[in-house]
Amino acid sequence: MLIGPLAGLAAVFEGLGPFYAVLALGFIAAVSLGSVAWYNSKRPAGWEDKERPDFLPKVDDEP
């Protein structure tokens, strides 16, 4: 049990574990999806001759 100024701080952060878990999961998903989209898009100048990594799925342009 915390006494003093840290007691109030601990009470504020007590229920934020799930919030930070969802925040971290969302960040990982955004980076992953952004990487797939970037590697499957037209290459920027200087990257035209670079190979796509094998672990990225190929996304077709046509439906």
pLDDT (0 to 100) of residue 38: 81
pTM of the model: 0.53
pLDDT (0 to 100) of residue 33: 92
Ranges in the chain, pLDDT < 70: 1-13, 44, 62-63
The SS3 assignment for 45 reads coil
* Angle (nearest 5°) at CA 37 between 32 and 41: 150
pLDDT (0 to 100) of residue 28: 96
| Half-sphere exposure in the Cβ direction for 62 (13 Å, CA) | 0
Give pairs for 1-4: CB < 8 Å, separation 24+.
none
* Angle (nearest 5°) at CA 13 between 11 and 16: 130
